[in-house]
Structure 1
Amino acid sequence: MDERFPRARPLGFEMPTGTDPLSVRKRIEAMELLLERSLVIPGTSYPIGLDSIVGLVPVIGDFVTAAMGAYIVWEARNLGIPKWKLWRMAGNIVFDSAVGAVPVLGDAFDLAFRSNSRNLKIVKNHLDKHHPATRVIEG
């Protein structure tokens, strides 16, 4: 499997419900995994998620995945991430949804532009700097 794309977590892991930064980080990582890397295209090692699949449904699919991506921004807001970073995260979702709404071309774009992965990276960078105890060594 390609090392750039971590493997999916096994079923049965517990979703943390706390408001502490580590619990929020785990929920955001789980949502990003679901939206961007939960499945693999058969015959390849390229991961896709609900964002690419549900996005195939015209208009409604892009709206649903944008709402799910907005959850990541909402969780980031609860962490106290600066407003300019929240706007950048919202911009990633709007851009992904706008281009994703274009028939055929937008669906191909959804495979390459992973707004939720970009937003996860913004959150991780913030947490690593401001809450270093939440840092997870990925291996």
Structure 2
Amino acid sequence: MAAAAARSFDQFTMALPQLGNDPAAVRKRIEMLELVLERALVVPGTQMRFGLDSVIGLVPGVGDIISGLMGAYIVWEARNLKMSKWTLWRMAGNVGVDTALGAIPFVGDLFDVVFRSNTRNLRLIKRHLDRHHPASATINA
């Protein structure tokens, strides 16, 4: 019974490419999460973009923990892609710096807008995927 359920779930995830474990699906998930966390909103009348990471960081304590956990999810996905331990540590450091300095009232909120740890980590993941899984590459217009 459990094996049939597992096969059924595997068939379901293959039908929805964003839910798969293949590198292209992982890339799509991480790109969407990075967009939401770092660049989803625009300050009216300017070109300055910010995301959910900056907005939820305004909630003292809890907001920075939540954004840190979302950043940690990106590192977890990178681990599943078999990225090197050095790169994973570098990515975890990016999230750690963003979370720690983002927790400082007011200054940390400004820091969140400038230091985009999730964008930095996405860049590292894209570099890895382009090198080791070139079929997962997307064309950016």
By the TM > 0.5 criterion, same fold? yes
Structure 2 residue aligned with 1:101: 103
Structure 1 residue aligned with 2:126: 124
**2-structure distance, mates of 1:23, 1:15:** 6
Residue 42 of structure 1, CA deviation: 1.9
Partner AA of 2:61 in structure 1: V
Judge conservation of contact 1:15–1:27 (CA < 8 Å) in 2.
no
Long gaps (5+) in structure 1: 1-13
Residue 44 of structure 1, CA deviation: 1.4
Structure with the higher fraction of residues in helix conformation: 2
Structure 1 residue matching 2:19: 3-state secondary structure: coil
Structure 2 residue aligned with 1:57: 59
Residue 43 of structure 1, CA deviation: 2.0
Partner AA of 1:109 in structure 2: F
Superimposed CA distance per residue, residues 102-132 of structure 1 (whole angstroms, 9 cap, x where no aligned partner): 1111111111000000000000000000001
**2-structure distance, mates of 1:138, 1:30:** 14
**1-structure distance, mates of 2:43, 2:53:** 14
Identity over aligned pairs, percent: 60
Match for 2:75 among 73, 76, 91?
A: 73
Superimposed CA distance per residue, residues 17-70 of structure 1 (whole angstroms, 9 cap, x where no aligned partner): 110000000000011001001111122121110000000111110000000111
Indicate the RMSD between aligned Cα atoms, in angstroms: 1.1
Long gaps (5+) in structure 2: 1-15
Which stretches of structure 1, 4 residues or longer, exceed 4 Å deviation after superposition?
none
TM normalised by structure 1 equals 0.88
Number of matched pairs: 126
Structure 2 residue aligned with 1:48: 50
